[in-house]
Structures are given as structure tokens and as C-alpha cells.
Amino acid sequence: MTGMAGRAAKAMRAGHQASAGELLELVRSGRATTRGALQQATGLSRATVGQRLDRLFRAGWLREGAGGPVDSPQGGRPSITLEFDDEHAVVLAADLDTRHGRAAVVSLSGEIQAEHHGSLRIEDGPDAVLGELGRWFAELLEKAGQRADAVCGIGLAVPGPVDTDTGKVVQPPIMPGWDGYDIRGRLGRAFAEHAGIKSAGSADGAGGATSAGITRSGTRIPVLVDNDANLMAYGEQRTGYPDCSAFALVKVSTGIGAGMVVGGSIYRGVDGGAGDIGHIRVGADALCRCGSYGCLAAVASGGAVARRLAESGVPATSGSDVRDLLTAGHPEAMALAREAGRQVGDVLATVVTLLNPGVLMIAGDLAGTPFLTGVRELLYQRALPRSTAHLDVVTSRLGERAGLVGAGALVVEYLYAPERVEERLAALGV
């Protein structure tokens, strides 16, 4: 017996009775999807399981599905299966890059119901950018045919290191004016303003992961903020590689960052700084935007490739410009992208040796054949065979939607964690 079912059984042996939140987790994970299976997994009586489930039904979070297998070996009527009702609410998700943004209405199962992308310049500052995101969200809800009170949470991916306890970016090299800014509060207020719903100020929630400026049925709607590479990795791992226990994603766009999912959870380090491989020193003398010399991002990012192209007379100012040139088969861009891949691959040899991932995914503006070829050349040359024997080096499956999917999943996993389910049920009065 493993996972939640195993923990629930151990908790019962310790005298703890599984909560409604723990039953919901068992159903959502597929480990126990009938009343009989829930009784067996938790040791609860039939009446107690019924009472716990009744709260979840009244909240609108569970529904009955088709008849499942017969629980008893003596036969009888098929048992009614239980399903998480992924239609009772939606999540708003956004992913910011240095020059553009992407936003969506996402179902609780991860389906994108409405989407918009457009120009949003990080350097314009958080007040303007988050205010515009609030407007996008309100318009997307209308496009998706959803009411504002259907929103249960907001997730935001940003291109900088994030202290997830506060939702604030910390000394971001490519986000001038954002350091220490109250992103959660401003985005919550912007959405409330454009959606025409009551503002409720801001507040820190359990675990420091939530703060919001709006209410729904008397409860606060959380706004969660995380690094873009983290959320891209989370979205890609959950949808394409759910059985991979150590997953790494490297985003190479205007800058370079990495996200890691270990044991099914995002690995952030002690204060959100894990994965910032763009600022590993590689011995070059190029000046990085962080103010230091010799950073990997200064020589191998999309921004660095764009600068080298511009020096040779090719119009390019950002990673997205380089991506367009690569799509068009521009020979100089392809050669520089391969060289950048080799430089990144040299660093990734150390990353792979340390983390021993099963999947290493390359994403972002430069994630094409030339760059990937360069990565593989140096990675397999420098890393020990033991570290790469079971490694798959791949490119993104979700593409530009990875951050949105990851942001949506982060909100859902936060809101429906067993301990938070109990808090929310109490707030709803069920």
C-alpha cells in the first residue's frame, strides 16, 4: 500500500480518522473511487465515509459517475464510482516573459477554455503589467462563458526568482522595478476591478502561499506566484511524464533558467533560488544583466545570441527574434544557436550528475534542433555514462502553454490539498 492510501492507513493505526480532504485526495488520485474502496483504504465506517462525502457533495466538488466493479466477491449490484467534479470552478493563469504575456481560463483538469497572448513589457513595471493582466482575465472569462464568481484561484508565472512565502520576486535580473513588489495584492485588485467584483484587501493564507484581494462565497481567492521555469516544468511533468520522479526543464529565451520537479513537487531550494543556472560562471568576460561578468546567460541565452547577430548586421534584439530567425532557417542564427547549446550542455553535465534526472527538457525560444544538438554534444561528452544511462533529452510538448498549464495545476493542487479542503469546507459552511 503506497501514497495517500498508505498514509491514510498509517494515520488510522495512529488513532487519526481520515478527513473529508483526505477522502477527496483518494478520489482525485484514482486510488479509491467507490465508498467501499474508501472504507477499505481509511478504515472508516460506512456511516462516517458517508458523512465526509456528503460535505464534499454539498460543496459541489464530487459527483457520481458510472457504475464501477462489484465490491463484494459474492456479486451484487455494481458500486457507484465517485469523481472529482472538475466543472464546479475555473482557474485563471498567466505566464509573463520579458516582452509578452499569455493568459488563460483553465479548467480544474487543466483544459484551456479561453486564451490570449499579446505584448506586455516587463520593464514597464508591475503596476502597469498586472493591471493589464487583470483586464485580460476579465475579458477571457466572458470569452469562456464563465462568471467571475466561478474563479477559485489565480496562478502567475514570472521570469525571476520568487519567494513563494510572500509571492514576491527577489532581486530579479531581468525584471526592473519588480523587486519586493506586492504582486499578489495588485493582481487580485486588478482582476476585481475589471471583473466588477467586491475587493477584500489582501491577506496571507496558510503556508504563506496565498493572498488575494477578492472574495467568492465569503472566501478569499488565492493568487499564487512562481518562477516561469518552475511552472513550465510542473506543467510538462504532470501532463507528459507523471511517473518521472526527477524531472528537469531548462528554459532558454531572453535569459536562462531551470525548473525541477522531484518526487512530484517543485524543488525551489530554501528561498526560491534553485534552478537559476543562467548565472553560473563559465569563464567568459561578457557582462551579464545581473551586473556580473561571465554568466552563462551572458553568452548562451537568446538575448546573447540576439546581440551577436545584431553585431553582424542581422536585426535581432531578443530571444523571440532569434526564434523567428531559426524558424526561417537563418544560417548564422542556426550556427550561433548550436554554439549556445554546447555552452549550456557543458553546464548541464554538472546538473545531470548532481540531480540524476530521468528527463531533461529543453524549452523556450532557442529550443530547436540546432540548440538541442549542441546540448547533446557537450552533455554526453562531459557527463559520466552512469548519469546519462537512463536520461531522455527532449523538447517541450506543451510549447508556449507549459507555463499556463503549470500555473493552473499549482493552484488546483494548493486548493484541494487535504488540509486546505477542511479550511475551505468550513468557510463554505458545509
User: What pTM was computed for the model?
Assistant: 0.90
Under the banding of pLDDT at 50, 70 and 90, the label for residue 69 is low
3-state secondary structure 165-181: CCCEECCCCCCCCCCCC
User: Residue 98: pLDDT above 80?
Assistant: yes
> Do residues 92 and 106 make contact, with C-beta atoms less than 8 angstroms apart?
yes
Please report which confidence band the pLDDT of residue 75 belongs to, taking 50, 70 and 90 as the band edges: low
Task: Say which residue the cell 481567492 belongs to.
Answer: 221
Question: Which residue is associated with the grid cell 554526453?
Answer: 380
* CA–CA dist 311, 316 (Å, integer): 9
| Least confident span in 3-17, 111-125, 259-273 | 3-17
pLDDT digit string (tens) for 242-295?
999 999 999 999 899 999 999 999 999 988 889 999 999 997 789 998 889 999
Mean of pLDDT values over 307-313: 95
Length of the chain equals: 430
Give the pLDDT score at 11: 47
**Cα angle value 301/307/308 (rounded, 5°):** 95
**pLDDT class of 4 with cuts at 50, 70, 90:** very low
Looking at residue 233, what DSSP letter applies?
A: H
Q: What number is the average pLDDT over the span 388-407?
A: 96
What burial letters (b/e) apply to 213-237, b meaning 16+ CB within 10 Å?
bbbbeebbbbbbbbbbbbbbbbbbb
